[in-house]
C-alpha cells in the first residue's frame, strides 16, 4: 500500500500548483470566452450566454494579425536555427577549453530583462544607432528608410530574444554526438558535406525539434517585440489580445482569441511532431 | 505659444533629476512593469495608528529629492499633520490599474490604496460604478482654489469626489530642425518631410480630439459619426505610412532618437524635451484647438473612514498654492491650483512665466475637454481606435 501511495504524494505539490495556476484560470478563460455584454451594463460587465460565435467573430476580425504572428514566428525560428546551428556546432566541437565560457555567453543576455533587451534593439536599429547610418553610407537603404517600426525590426527582435532557446537544445544534442561516428564517416570516404547530411544532422535532430518548438511557440504568442519595435502595421495577435483585455475591456474576445491561439499552436505542433517523430524529442 | 525661456540652474537641476529617473523607467514604461519602483514610505513610525494614507500615483508625478530619495512636500505634510504616507509610483496606465483592482472594488475589499489618480474618463467610470467616495468638504477648504476651467467636469459637476491633480494639454510637438516653420495645423503635421516619422498618442481623447478640432468638430459634443470619421482619418494615415506609431509617453524617446520628427504629444513631456535640448524641440496648441484633460485625486470606496479623512487632508495640502507651486516646479504639467503662479514667482520667476505650466486665458480658451462617453460608446469607440492602431 505504502509503495503505491508514495508517487502520488510526491506529485501532490505539482498537481496543486497546476490546478491553481493552470486548470482554474483555463476554466475561467473558457467561461469568459462565450460571454456577452450585459445590456445596459457598464464597461467590462459581461454575462454568460454561451455565445460560441464569439470565436468565429474574433478569428475573422483578426485573421490578419493571426497570419502575421505565425509568419513572423516561422521566419524568426528559421533565422534562429540558421544562426544557432553553426554556433552550437562550434561550441560543441571546436571551442576546446573555452566551451563553458561560450555557453555562459549564450545565456548571459538572459540576466537582463526581456524588455530591456528589446529596447536596446530599438536603439541599435534607431536613427542614432550605428546600423542605419552605416547602411545609408553603403547605399543599401535610402535616406528616408528607417529600420524601426518595420516588420524587419520585429522579426530581428524575436530572433534575438529567442536565440538561446534554440542554441541550448541544439548544443545539448550536438555535444552528445560521438566524434568517432564522424571519423568513421570520413574513413568511409564521405566528404564534409555528406558527413554533415548523413551523420551530424540526423543525430542532432532531437535538438532541432526541441529548439524549433521552444522558439516557435513563445514567438507566435509574443507581443513585446511588436509593441516596442513594430508599427501599427506589424501588430501580432498578442497585441490584439492585450488591447482587447486592457484597452477595450472586451474580456470575451480576448479569451476567445487566447483559446484560438492555443489551439492553432497545438495543431501546428502536433503536425510537426508527427512529421518529425516523437522519438526525436528525447 | 510657449516661449522657451532659459531656465534657472535650480529648475534645470530639478528637470535633470527627473529625466535621469525617466531614463531608468524608459524601458519598462510601455509594457508596464514599473512595480519595482514602487513603495516609498515616509514617516511611518511617527504617526498615530490609523493615520496613514496610501497613495497610488503615476511615475514621476510628485516632487522628488534625488539626493535623499524623499518626496519633500509629502514629508512636510507628515510633519505638519502627523499623518503618515505611503507613496506608490505604480499607477502606470489607467486600464491596467483598473484591471488590477476592479475585482476587489466589486467585492468591496481593500485595494491597498486610499487615494488613486485616474484620468478624467477613468475617474468617470469609478464614479459611475460607485467606486469613489464623496469628500467631506470641511476637510478640504482649499477646494475652492481649483481653476475655473477645471471646476465642473461633466462626470463630477461639483467636484464632490474628485479634484484635479495635474492638467495635461495635448498638442503638436516637433523637431525644429526637420520642421523649421513649426507645426500649427494638421496639414503641417502631415507635411512630406514628416512622412513615416509621425507618432500620435495612444490616448484617444487627445489624438482624436485634436483631429476632430482640425475637422471643425468639438470634442465636448462629438457625435459618433464625427468620431468615426476622425478615426478613419487616422487609420488612413497609418495605412499610408505617415504615422509610425500610436504610443504613450514613449513618443518622447522616439523624438530624441530621431525616429520621430513630429508628434501629437503632451505638454509636460514636451516641456522637458524642449528645455533639455536647447531649441531642438517645440510644442504648441494647434490653431484649431488642443485638448486638456486631468488626472484626478479620488478616494476609493474601499478606504476606511479614518483613511478617507487623512486622504482628504492630503488633498487639501496639495491644494495649498505654495505646495502646488513646489510640485509644479517638478512635474511641469498644468497646475490646477489658483494662486500657484504667484507662489512660483518666489521659487522660480522664469518658470512662473511658462505657458506649459500656467497657460494664459487665451490658450485656455483654445483647449477642449473630451466629453464623457456612455459605457456602450466607451467600448465601441475604444475598439474603433484600437483597430485603427493595428490592434
First vs last C-alpha separation in chain B: 35
Q: Give the pLDDT score at A279.
A: 61
Model pTM?
Answer: 0.84
Q: Which domains does chain B have, with CATH numbers?
A: 9-166+295-358 (3.40.190.10), 168-292+368-388 (3.40.190.10)
pLDDT per residue as tens, chain A (282 positions): 567 788 889 999 999 999 999 999 999 999 999 999 998 888 888 999 999 999 999 999 999 999 999 999 999 999 999 999 999 999 999 988 999 999 999 999 888 888 899 999 988 888 888 888 888 888 888 877 788 889 999 999 999 999 999 999 999 999 999 999 999 999 999 998 999 999 999 999 999 999 999 999 999 999 999 999 999 999 999 999 999 998 898 999 999 999 999 999 999 999 998 887 656 554
Q: Which residues in chain A have their CB less than 8 angstroms from residue B95's CB?
A: 246-247, 249
Whether residue A58 is contained in a domain is answered as yes
Whether residue A46 is contained in a domain is answered as no
Whether residue A6 is contained in a domain is answered as no
C-beta atoms of B259 and A148 within 8 A:
yes
Whether residue A185 is contained in a domain is answered as yes
Q: Give the pLDDT score at B274.
A: 87
CA distance A214 to chain B (A): 23
Answer yes or no: are the C-beta atoms of A218 and A114 closer than 8 Å. no
C-beta atoms of A239 and B258 within 8 A:
no
> Nearest residue of A to residue B245 by CA position?
A231
CA distance B91 to chain A (A): 14
What's the structural domain count of chain A? 1
First vs last C-alpha separation in chain A: 32
Please give the helix or strand (H or E) that residue B153 lies within, else none: none
The DSSP line for B79-114 is HHH--EEEEE-----HHHHHHHHHHHHHHT---S-S
pLDDT per residue as tens, chain B (391 positions): 333 334 444 444 444 444 333 333 333 333 333 333 334 444 433 334 458 999 999 988 999 888 888 999 999 999 999 999 999 998 988 888 998 898 899 999 999 999 999 999 999 999 999 999 999 999 999 999 999 888 888 899 999 999 999 999 999 999 999 999 999 999 999 999 999 999 999 999 999 999 999 999 999 999 999 999 999 999 999 999 999 999 988 898 899 888 999 999 999 889 888 888 888 999 999 999 999 999 999 999 999 999 999 999 999 999 999 999 999 988 889 999 999 999 999 988 988 998 888 999 888 889 998 998 988 999 999 999 999 999 8
Q: Which residues in chain B have their CB less than 8 angstroms from residue A238's CB?
A: none
Whether residue A222 is contained in a domain is answered as yes
**Hey, of B259, B260, B261, B389, which one would you mutate to test binding to chain A, going by the most A CBs within 10 A of its CB?**
B259
Whether residue A184 is contained in a domain is answered as yes
Domain containing residue A183: 52-281
Burial class (CB in 10 A: 0-12, 13-18, 19+), A151: middle
Please state, as a whole number, how many other Cβ atoms lie within 10 Å of the Cβ of residue A83. Answer: 15
C-beta atoms of A144 and B195 within 8 A:
yes
Q: Which of A231, A235, A246 sits opposite B95 (nearest CB)?
A: A246
C-beta atoms of B99 and A246 within 8 A:
yes
Whether residue A9 is contained in a domain is answered as no
Whether residue A15 is contained in a domain is answered as no
Q: If DSSP codes are grouped into helix, strand and coil, which group holds residue B291?
A: strand
CA distance B18 to chain A (A): 20
C-beta atoms of A146 and B245 within 8 A:
no
Q: What is the pLDDT of residues B31-76, one digit of tens each?
A: 333 333 334 444 433 334 458 999 999 988 999 888 888 999 999 9
Q: Give the pLDDT score at A110.
A: 84
Which CATH number characterizes residue A211's domain?
Answer: 1.10.3720.10
3-state helix, strand, coil in chain B (%, to 5): 45, 15, 35
C-beta atoms of A43 and B102 within 8 A:
no
Q: Which of B31, B259, B375 sits opposite A115 (nearest CB)?
A: B31
Q: Give the pLDDT score at B190.
A: 96
The rounded distance, in Å, linking the Cα atoms of B274 and B168 is: 16
Q: Give the pLDDT score at A257.
A: 96
> Nearest residue of B to residue A254 by CA position?
B391
Answer yes or no: are the C-beta atoms of B349 and B7 closer than 8 Å. no
* Cell numbers that stand for A239 in this block: 497585441
Q: Where are the alpha helices (DSSP H) in B113-250?
A: 120-128, 186-189, 204-214, 224-239
Q: CB distance from A244 to chain B under 8 Å?
A: yes
Q: Give the pLDDT score at A278.
A: 58
Answer yes or no: are the C-beta atoms of A124 and A42 closer than 8 Å. no
Amino acid at each position: 500500500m505504502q509503495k503505491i501511495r508514495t508517487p502520488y504524494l510526491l506529485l501532490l505539490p505539482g498537481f496543486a500548483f497546476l490546478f491553481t495556476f493552470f486548470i482554474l484560470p483555463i476554466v475561467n478563460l473558457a467561461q469568459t470566452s462565450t460571454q456577452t455584454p450585459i445590456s445596459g451594463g457598464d464597461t467590462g460587465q459581461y454575462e454568460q450566454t454561451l455565445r460560441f460565435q464569439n470565436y468565429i467573430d474574433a478569428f475573422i476580425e483578426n485573421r490578419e494579425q493571426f497570419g502575421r504572428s505565425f509568419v513572423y514566428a516561422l521566419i524568426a525560428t528559421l533565422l534562429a536555427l540558421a544562426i544557432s546551428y553553426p554556433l552550437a556546432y562550434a561550441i560543441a566541437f571546436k571551442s576546446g577549453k573555452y566551451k563553458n565560457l561560450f555557453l555562459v555567453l549564450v545565456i548571459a543576455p538572459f540576466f537582463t530583462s526581456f524588455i530591456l533587451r528589446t529596447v536596446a534593439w530599438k536603439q541599435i536599429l534607431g536613427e542614432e544607432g550605428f546600423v542605419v547610418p552605416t547602411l545609408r553610407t553603403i547605399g543599401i537603404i535610402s535616406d528616408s528608410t528607417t529600420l524601426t517600426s518595420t516588420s524587419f525590426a520585429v522579426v530581428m527582435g524575436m530572433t534575438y530574444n529567442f536565440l538561446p532557446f534554440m542554441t541550448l537544445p541544439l548544443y545539448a544534442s550536438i555535444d552528445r554526438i560521438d566524434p568517432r561516428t564522424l571519423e568513421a564517416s570520413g574513413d568511409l570516404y564521405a566528404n564534409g558535406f555528406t558527413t554533415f547530411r548523413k551523420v551530424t544532422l540526423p543525430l542532432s535532430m532531437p535538438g532541432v525539434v526541441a529548439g524549433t518548438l521552444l522558439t516557435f511557440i513563445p514567438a507566435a504568442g509574443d507581443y513585446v517585440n511588436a509593441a516596442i519595435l513594430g508599427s501599427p502595421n506589424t501588430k501580432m495577435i498578442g497585441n490584439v489580445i492585450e488591447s482587447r483585455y486592457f484597452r477595450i475591456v472586451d474580456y470575451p474576445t480576448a479569451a476567445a482569441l487566447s483559446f484560438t491561439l492555443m489551439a492553432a499552436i497545438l495543431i501546428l505542433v502536433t503536425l510537426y511532431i508527427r512529421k518529425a517523430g516523437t522519438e526525436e524529442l528525447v | 505659444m510657449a516661449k522657451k525661456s532659459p531656465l534657472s540652474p535650480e529648475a534645470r537641476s530639478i528637470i535633470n533629476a527627473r529625466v535621469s529617473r525617466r531614463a531608468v523607467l524608459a524601458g519598462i514604461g510601455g509594457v508596464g512593469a514599473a512595480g519595482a519602483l514602487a513603495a516609498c514610505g515616509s514617516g511611518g513610525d511617527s504617526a498615530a495608528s490609523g493615520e496613514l494614507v496610501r497613495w497610488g500615483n503615476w511615475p514621476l508625478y510628485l516632487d522628488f529629492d534625488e539626493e535623499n530619495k524623499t518626496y519633500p512636500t509629502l514629508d512636510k505634510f507628515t510633519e505638519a499633520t502627523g499623518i503618515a504616507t505611503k507613496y506608490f509610483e505604480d499607477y502606470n496606465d489607467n486600464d491596467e490599474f483598473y484591471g488590477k483592482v476592479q475585482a476587489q472594488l466589486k467585492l468591496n475589499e481593500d485595494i491597498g490604496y486610499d487615494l488613486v489618480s485616474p484620468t478624467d474618463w477613468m475617474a468617470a467610470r469609478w464614479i459611475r460604478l460607485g467606486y469613489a467616495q464623496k469628500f467631506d468638504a470641511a476637510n478640504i477648504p482649499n477646494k475652492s482654489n481649483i481653476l475655473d476651467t477645471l471646476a465642473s467636469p461633466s462626470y463630477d459637476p461639483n467636484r464632490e469626489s474628485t479634484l484635479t491633480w495635474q492638467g495635461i494639454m495635448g498638442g503638436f510637438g516637433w523637431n525644429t530642425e526637420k520642421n523649421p516653420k513649426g507645426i500649427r495645423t494638421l496639414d503641417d503635421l502631415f507635411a512630406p518631410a514628416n512622412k513615416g516619422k509621425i507618432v500620435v498618442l495612444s490616448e484617444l481623447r487627445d489624438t482624436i480630439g485634436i483631429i476632430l478640432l482640425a475637422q471643425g468638430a468639438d470634442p465636448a459634443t462629438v457625435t459618433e459619426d464625427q468620431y468615426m470619421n476622425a478615426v478613419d482619418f487616422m487609420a488612413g494615415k497609418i495605412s499610408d505610412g505617415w504615422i509610425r506609431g500610436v504610443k504613450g509617453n514613449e513618443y518622447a524617446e522616439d523624438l530624441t532618437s530621431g525616429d520621430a520628427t513630429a508628434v501629437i504629444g503632451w505638454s509636460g513631456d514636451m516641456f522637458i524635451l524642449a528645455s533639455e535640448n536647447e531649441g531642438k524641440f517645440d510644442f504648441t496648441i494647434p490653431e484649431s484647438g488642443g485638448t486638456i484633460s486631468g488626472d484626478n485625486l479620488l478616494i476609493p470606496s474601499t478606504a476606511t473612514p479614518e483613511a478617507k479623512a487623512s486622504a482628504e487632508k492630503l488633498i487639501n495640502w496639495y491644494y495649498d498654492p505654495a505646495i502646488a507651486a513646489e510640485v509644479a516646479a517638478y512635474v511641469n504639467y498644468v497646475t490646477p491650483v489658483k494662486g500657484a503662479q504667484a507662489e512660483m514667482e518666489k521659487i522660480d520667476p522664469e518658470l512662473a512665466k511658462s505657458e506649459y505650466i500656467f497657460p494664459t486665458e487665451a490658450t485656455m480658451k483654445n483647449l477642449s475637454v473630451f466629453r464623457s462617453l456612455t459605457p456602450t460608446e466607451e467600448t465601441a469607440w475604444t475598439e474603433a481606435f484600437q483597430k485603427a492602431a493595428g490592434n
